Amino acid sequence: MVEYKLYVEGGGTGKHLRTECRAGFSAFLEKAALSGTMPRIVACGSRGEAYEKFRLAVGQGQKAFLLVDSESPVDAEHAVGEPEIWKPWGHLRRQTGDGWSKPASTSDTDCHLMVQVMESWFLADKETLSVFFGQGFRFGALPSQDKVEHVAKDALYRGLASASRSCKTKACYGKGSHSFKILALLDPTKVCAASPWAKRFIDTLKIRATMFPILGN
């Protein structure tokens, strides 16, 4: 059997949070109809660590995917034509603070972006956010932009904090406290409908699963 690994940005430096990161992505992918065909999820903490682990893995001949935040809007030139020919490596090469090169033997379909950050996916499923935070959650405080990938990350974080500030059963949104718990509850169908880059990610995993047997997480 061929084992694929998914190196993801997230999970910080602590063991507990990395466990939550793996669990959150596992639950999300299982609901995306990938149960039994998922790559092994590796929570890497920082985006730089995710890239380095991915680069080392493929350099050793391993089969792997990389999933990181785009951190900023993806220029239209990197999303021309069908999603399978989009150019995430072009974005990451230009992204301030990254400057990453595409490792030898990899392709653009091995690299995937959460545009602009993982929390952007939350805006596609506001009903789940409301249920998670419960009484006092304020929909109106969330960014009103219909295209979730166009919402700047700072505006998104401010909106999440404001919307959850007066909740009765949960504290104000905290990335470490809440992010992966919410991810596990999201509806992948809604996320893919709202985020073309998320759909590209899920579609690529499904295509790869039909090409190679993959060990489960």
Express each pLDDT in 122-174 by its tens digit: 999 999 999 999 999 999 999 988 899 999 999 999 999 999 999 998 999 98
Question: Strand 4-8 to strand 40-43: parallel, antiparallel, or no bridges (unpaired)?
Answer: parallel
Give me the mean pLDDT over the 33-61 stretch: 94
pLDDT of residue 212: 56
How many other β-carbons are positioned within 10 Å of the β-carbon of residue 144? 10
Mean pLDDT of the chain: 93
Express each pLDDT in 11-25 by its tens digit: 988 899 999 999 999
What is the residue-wise DSSP string for the chain? -B-EEEEESB--SSHHHHHHHHHHHHHHHIIIIITTSPPEEEE-BSHHHHHHHHHHHHHTT-EEEEEEE--SPPPGGGS-SSGGG--HHHHHHHSTTT-PPPPTT--GGGEEEESS-GGGGGGGGHHHHHHHH-TT--GGGS---SSGGGS-HHHHHHHHHHHHTT-SSSPSP-HHHHHHHHHHH--HHHHHHH-HHHHHHHHHHHHHHHHS-B---
Supply the Cα-derived Rg of the chain in whole angstroms.
17
pLDDT for residue 215 is more than 50: no
Give me the mean pLDDT over the 3-18 stretch: 92
pLDDT for residue 210 is more than 80: no
Give me the mean pLDDT over the 58-78 stretch: 96
Q: How confident is the model at residue 204 (pLDDT cuts 50, 70, 90)?
A: very high
pLDDT for residue 217 is more than 70: no
pLDDT of residue 1: 52
pTM comes to 0.94
pLDDT of residue 208: 84
